[in-house]
Structure 1
Amino acid sequence: EKNSIKLFQDCSPSVAHITTLRLGKDMSMNPVEIPRGTGSGFVWDKDGHIVTNYHVTMNGERARVTLSDASTWDGTLVGYAKNKDLAVLKISAPPSKLKPISVGTSQGLQVGQHVLAIGNPFGLDRTLTSGIISGVGRDIRSIGGRIIRGVIQTDASINPGNSGGPLLDSQGRLIGVNTAIYSPTGASAGVGFAIPVDTVRRVINQIIRDGKVVRPGLGIVCASESQTRQLGVTGVLVLGLSSNGAAAQAGLKGL
């Protein structure tokens, strides 16, 4: 019990409440900002980068980030990875107001391991829930339609508003980003999912550096399977190359 209390006291200052907004009009047709949704996030570094889910930010024209001291800051979208359901906002808060979360690893996680989640379910700021790792290596479909692999399953209560918040181990280290629940009602049913932190670290560092996720590619245009079959070719038939692609630089040539 004392460990959970200390963990919350140490880690909750790293957790942020995110509100997305869209410009609309009131009854008098005056322009007003209309809240579009809420979610969670956490401080990544002293430069003001805030990590959250892509689906938390996607329906708003701007974001408002509230830190643990109740100070509120405009969040600028640095970039996102739709297929990993991750996004990075940046706020202009001074370093003295920012407490970066302690980042762990998702390697070696065990079913039955104690975990805790901090977030803002239903708008209730910095709510702590606890549970265990119920499964590892799960696959879920991202909002972009691609499969996110190696996802952590937990029975720690995760509800609407928890999205983008941290999943922590018993030492208060980030091991995942809470992203989805399986529920027939939309409320927690004891089946929640978190993107593993090793994936998060790789994606977030790319977004901060490049503004997007850079995916490797060969830079080749291949014949279809039916074309190669008609030609009696086995293997991959290269029809063309991207001029600056890796294959062209390696000396490959197309037909």
Structure 2
Amino acid sequence: MRYPPVPSMSPFIAAIVGAVLAVFVYRYFIDRGTPAVEPRPVTPRGDLADDEKSTIAIFRTASPSVVYITTAAQRLDPWTRNVLEIPQGTGSGFVWDDSGHIVTNFHVIQNATSATVTLHDGSTYAASLVGSAPDHDLAVLRIRAPREKLRPIPVGTSSDLQVGQKAFAIGDPFGLDQTLTTGVVSALGRTIRSVTNRPIEDVIQTDAAINPGNSGGPLLDSAGRLIGVNTAIYSPTGSSAGIGFAIPVDTVNRVVPQLIRTGKFAAPSLGIVVDDRLGRTITSRMRVEGVLILGVRSGSAAEAAGLRGTQMTREGVIVGDVITHVDGRKVRTTDELIAAIQKRNFGDTVTLTIIRDGQTMQVAVKLPLAP
């Protein structure tokens, strides 16, 4: 059987039909595996957790009190004899009162010849040094800013802090101003060394991240109150390792008003002469722990209380009184003795436990009035 011949397509039409089929097949298979390219719908979040709301409120309330400090030092160009102003460093601070007093660390402004304070709104002011207490690593600056721009920070107390309660640090780490970090009070009663190598006692340890630039900024409690001044970190690398330290606010509240009034911090003293190395040589032979009085200054509180110093005679050494406790608190070194006395106010009476001629006794000493 023969079939009639099938009419053939022209080459041009065949090419068009083939191209259309190829595009259709390609789109069919490709589109099946291509995800949607439209924006994904936003999943409703719901309300913030109470803990988050609290943290946000703390930052919004306290951050206007935190300032950014930049310092510079003048250097003489040995070739041109021109005085150059070289950037020194950066740090943090906070507004103490509406008179423009700014509290920061002493080491932030140490060796600086000028300082600039930047407020939360970005406005900058030249700062003058009001006073400093290097032994406590504290300093007070002052700026001439409108009162409406100054937001004094709420002040709390460090006397009732507990390990585990929340802590918040606000500052300018690495120049990143208005940075909030959170953590807890990790430990209390730590001792660190100031720039003068004097001990700063009752220091707060926190794991709230404290980095270079945070120095001088506030450490806050969950009520947004100042509980400490961030001052140091323990880190082999120089950045936060989860161990930061803050000067307790009770120390700050004792030192800062005096710096504002007089420009320096003066603490009461007994008026005795001591030397740990020599004293330890003698007390170790006596098998006692304490601070040996080598001498008593004329007109001092110690002289008025009848304390005795060590004397050299032809017959030998007459050992003076050894102070073992201050108001019941054990003291083993000169640093511990000084720290215990400096916690008291001018005119207070302290009770010293001493060893004299092998006998333990107590002596009341009235500290001198403020100079």
TM-score higher than 0.5: yes
SS at structure 2 position matched to 1:163: coil
Q: Which has the larger radius of gyration?
A: 2
Out of 93, 97, 102, the residue aligned to residue 41 of structure 1 is 93
Q: CA RMSD in A?
A: 2.7
SS at match of 1:202: helix
Give per-residue Cα distances to partners, 1:61-101, cap 9 Å, x unaligned.
11111111111111111111111111111111121111000
Per the TM alignment, residue 242 of structure 1 is displaced from its structure 2 partner at its CA by: 3.9
1:187-221 deviation digits (Å, cap 9, x = unpaired): 10110011110011101111112211112123355
Give, in whole Å, the separation in 1 of the partners of 2:72 and 2:224: 31
> What is the identity, as a one-letter code, of the residue corresponding to 1:241?
R
The one-letter amino acid of 1:191's match is I
Change (3 A) 1:250 1:137: closer
The answer on whether the counterparts of 2:207 and 2:244 sit within 8 Å (CA) in structure 1 is yes
Identity %: 61
Report the 3-state secondary structure (helix = DSSP H, G, I; strand = E; otherwise coil) of the residue aligned with 1:96: helix
Q: Structure 1 residue 168: deviation in Å? A: 0.3
Contact 2:67 2:94 in 1 (8 A): yes
Partner of 1:232: none
Partner of 1:18: 69
Q: Compared with structure 1, are the counterparts of its residues 106 and 24 closer, same or farther at alpha carbon in structure 2 (3 Å cutoff)?
A: same
Instruction: Give the equivalent residue in structure 1 for 2:187.
Output: 135
Q: Match of 1:11, as an amino acid?
A: A
The residue number in structure 2 matching 1:168 is 220
- Secondary structure at 2:168 match in 1: strand
From 201, 204, 208, the equivalent of 2:256 is: 204
Q: What is the rounded CA distance, in whole Å, between the counterparts of 1:168 and 1:50 in structure 2?
A: 17
Q: Distance in 1 between matches of 2:154 and 2:247?
A: 16
1:241–1:253 contact (8 Å) kept in structure 2? no
Rounded to whole Å, the distance in 2 between the matches of 1:97 and 1:169 is 24
Question: Helix, strand or coil for the counterpart of 1:218?
Answer: coil
Q: CA offset at residue 24 of structure 1?
A: 3.9
If asked which structure has higher relative contact order (CA below 8 Å, sep 6+), I would say: 1
1:203 and 1:93 map into 2 onto residues whose CA distance is 24
- Residue in structure 1 matching 2:237, options 182, 185, 188: 185
CA shift for structure 1 position 12 = 0.5
From 94, 108, 112, the counterpart of 2:160: 108
Q: Are residue 241 (structure 1) and residue 284 (structure 2) matched?
A: no
More deviation in 70-79 or 217-226? 217-226
Aligned-partner Cα distance in 2 for 1:33–1:237: 48
| Gap regions ≥5 residues in structure 2 | 1-51, 283-290, 312-371
TM-aligned CA deviation for residue 109 of structure 1: 1.0
Q: Larger % of strand: which?
A: 1
Bigger shift: residues 1-10 or 174-183: 1-10
SS state at 1:65 partner = strand
Contact 1:42 1:52 (8 Å CA) reproduced:
yes
Greater Cα offset, 210-219 or 4-13 = 210-219
> Is 1:78 the equivalent of 2:78?
no
* SS at 2:61 equivalent: helix
Q: Secondary structure at the match of 1:17?
A: strand
Q: For the residues of structure 2 that align with 1:170 and 1:222, how far apart are their CA atoms?
A: 43
CA drift of 1:237 comes to: 7.3
Instruction: Give the letter aligned to residue 204 of structure 1.
Output: V
Asked if the contact 1:222–1:240 (Cα under 8 Å) also holds between the matched residues in 2, the reply is no
1:40–1:163 contact (8 Å) kept in structure 2: yes
Q: TM-score, normalised by structure 1?
A: 0.87
Per-residue deviation at 1:248?
6.3
Unaligned runs of 5+ in 1: 228-234
**Aligned-pair CA distance for 1:135:** 0.8
**AA matched with 1:37:** G
- Choose 163-172 or 204-213, whichever is displaced more: 204-213
Question: Hey, what's the Cα distance between the residues in 2 that align with 1:106 and 1:169?
Answer: 10
Tell which deviates more after alignment, 24-33 or 1-10.
Answer: 24-33
Q: Residues 163, 218 of structure 1: CA spacing in aligned structure 2 closer, same or farther, 3 A cutoff?
A: same
Name the residue aligned to 1:66. Answer: 118
Which string of whole-angstrom CA distances, capped at 9 and with x for unpartnered residues, describes residues 83-129 of structure 1? 11111111111211110000000112111111110000000111001
Q: Give the match for residue 214 of structure 1.
A: 266
Which structure is higher in helix share? Answer: 2
SS at match of 2:160: coil
